Amino acid sequence: MWTNVCYFYFVFFPLLFSLGHSLGYGFVNYVNPSDAERAINTLNGLRLQSKTIKVSYARPSSDSIKDANLYISGLPKTMTQKDVEDMFTQYGRIINSRVLVDQASGLSRGVAFIRFDKRSEAEEAIKDLNGSKPVGASEPITVKFAANPNQTKNSQLLSQLYNTQSRRFGGPVHHQAQRFRFSPMSVDHMSGVSGMNVAGSSSSGWCIFIYNLGQDADEGILWQMFGPFGAVTNVKVIRDFNTNKCKGFGFVTMTNYEEAAMAIASLNGYRLGDKVLQVSFKSSKSHK
């Protein structure tokens, strides 16, 4: 029995694979098998922002389950996720599947991903289905191994960015490229000094100021509010030294700029209890 619970998003592939970003999955180890089971039962299928997370037991780590992800293109636009799964299921156990849809029209792009449990299963599917025509289709489909996001996507993305920017602006590229990689570090470089020169940022994350917390607010509520937006490294409720009551404000530090910005946009004006919260990046004054 595996007490290793694997978290990963159904929406795995649309994630941005730029440097420092989550690959969209993670692992949690439980001491107690029943706790692992409870985590699966309560969290699997939970919607977090625009995503639905999948929580299941982790498969044993092994070379045989690596590189078992397939990229399928040229599919009839009428084929649904289930249709694609039905076509591939005879080759092995499907771990995850997705049909890409056009963001504007909502129609299928004729592209899908299928992750098999075993690489050998994926190989068999390629052998059989690459170049074949689904029933009723006029054109053959392409079935191949999906590009490994770790190795290829980053370098492709970066070189794409650089090419695009140099064509458009014709000048030194690194200033523009910074726009696409908002990390505290890169902003520090932009200002030329490390520390708190840009609102909310420091080398250790993005600090967010929350005002109008109730007297009884605690750290737990901050974790609950901000956690769903992404990586939270620290929360703090500021309390009166003597009374130990919250002084009405607190701080949350988040690792990634985009997630912090989304949290602020979503939670500013949020009604917590009978109070309307003000949420913003921490002002840059004060602090060492």
Partner DNA sequence: TTCGATT
State the nearest-atom distance from the C-beta of 11 to DNA, in Å: 32
Measured between alpha carbons, how far apart are the two ends of the chain, in Å? 50
Interacting residue with DNA among 127, 156, 234, 265 (CB under 7 A): 234
Strands 47-48, 246-254: parallel, antiparallel or unpaired by DSSP? unpaired
151 φ, ψ (degrees, to nearest 5):
-85, -50
Nearer to DNA, 145 or 249 (CB): 249
State the nearest-atom distance from the C-beta of 288 to DNA, in Å: 7
283 near DNA (CB under 7 A): yes
287 near DNA (CB under 7 A): yes
* CB 240 within 8 Å of CB 234: no
Interacting residue with DNA among 123, 248, 266, 268 (CB under 7 A): 248
247 near DNA (CB under 7 A): yes
State the nearest-atom distance from the C-beta of 241 to DNA, in Å: 6
State the nearest-atom distance from the C-beta of 257 to DNA, in Å: 16
Tokens (6 digits) for 32: 């107690």
207 near DNA (CB under 7 A): yes
State the nearest-atom distance from the C-beta of 186 to DNA, in Å: 20
249 near DNA (CB under 7 A): yes
State the nearest-atom distance from the C-beta of 251 to DNA, in Å: 4
State the nearest-atom distance from the C-beta of 287 to DNA, in Å: 4
Nearer to DNA, 151 or 244 (CB): 244
d(CA 244, CA 239): 5
209 near DNA (CB under 7 A): yes
Nearer to DNA, 109 or 239 (CB): 239
Interface segment toward DNA; rule CB under 7 A; list 121-129, 156-164, 168-176, 246-254: 246-254
Nearer to DNA, 90 or 234 (CB): 234
Nearer to DNA, 76 or 248 (CB): 248
Interacting residue with DNA among 57, 145, 211, 270 (CB under 7 A): 211
Residues interacting with DNA, by CB under 7 A? 207, 209, 211-212, 215, 234, 236, 238, 241, 245-249, 251, 253, 278, 280, 282-283, 286-287
